[in-house]
Amino acid sequence: MSEYMIENVAELLREAREEKRALGAFNVFNLETAHAVLDAAKETDAPVVVQFTESTMDYIGGRAIFHSVKNLIGWYYPEVRAGIHLDHGKSIEIIERCVKMGVPSVMYDGSRQRLDDNIDATKRAAALCHEKGVSVQGELGSVPYIAERAAFPDEEWDKYMTDPDEAKRFVEETGIDTLAVAIGNAHGMAKERSEPDYARLEKIAEKVSVPIVMHGASDWDETRVREVVSRGVSCFNVDTDSRMAFVSSLAHSLQDSDGTSFNIRKILGNARHAMKESVKKKIVMFRGG
């Protein structure tokens, strides 16, 4: 199978930025969820990023998930423009592991470190990756997880959000290809800022030359999505929303079972369909209809 069947993620995002739209980058955990994302991309005729985390690599095997996705794209979805990406790599070791495996795009997440330490580590990751032709996403600012915080007033969000001047320095000194930012967004079910800091995002977009990625926005409505895309966001990472669609379908199938149905293909097929429909809605929203 030709390597050219896999799209360069950074190039996809640069293209989206130029066209003032956004891509979806969707986390997958197995064949069913990977099929769901690629089916959605095929049915909407849209480019897509298929991504996985270190936790998924530990669960299923790094080479297993990477080559499963790669083979799906190459053999079963050749018409889909799809990139493959590691989401939230937290160490240089996991970045090295992915580079050796052939993963063409990675995220090094040093966002919980002090600025200088984040710059130094991300710069190392970028140098390592670029030597092998791998694109790199960095993160500046802190997108909270539910375990990290309780609700607090909007004015206390400043310590979490990305500083525009620091973003300029971060991009220039690290050489990253794309930048994940924090403007009041939060992972999973963590409570977000009452309103994203749109003015902050505008300043960041003015100061950096790379595409901007938004994490923790699975539940955003069309209005918020449109607002940040118009201000420079080129990609949305999605996990919680599509995962909930998949799991909810599984729960429904098992709850409705009379105890005699053990057709795993049907149960997982229904979940795959539910996730596909969820992903399709996101893709259409991100590209603006």
Element (H, E) at 212: strand 212-214
C-alpha span between 280 and 44 (Å, rounded): 7
* DSSP 8-state code for residue 145: -
- Calculate ∠ Cα 152-165-175, nearest 5°: 110
Whether 154 is catalytic is no
C-alpha span between 206 and 158 (Å, rounded): 19
* DSSP 8-state code for residue 163: P
What lies within 8 Å, CB to CB, of 199 at 6+ separation is none
User: Where do the DSSP E strands lie in the chain?
Assistant: 23-27, 48-53, 82-89, 105-108, 135-139, 178-181, 212-214, 233-238
Active-site option among 87, 177, 197, 239: 87
Q: Which of 11, 3, 79 is nearest to 41 (CA)?
A: 79
Write out the catalytic residue numbers.
Answer: 87
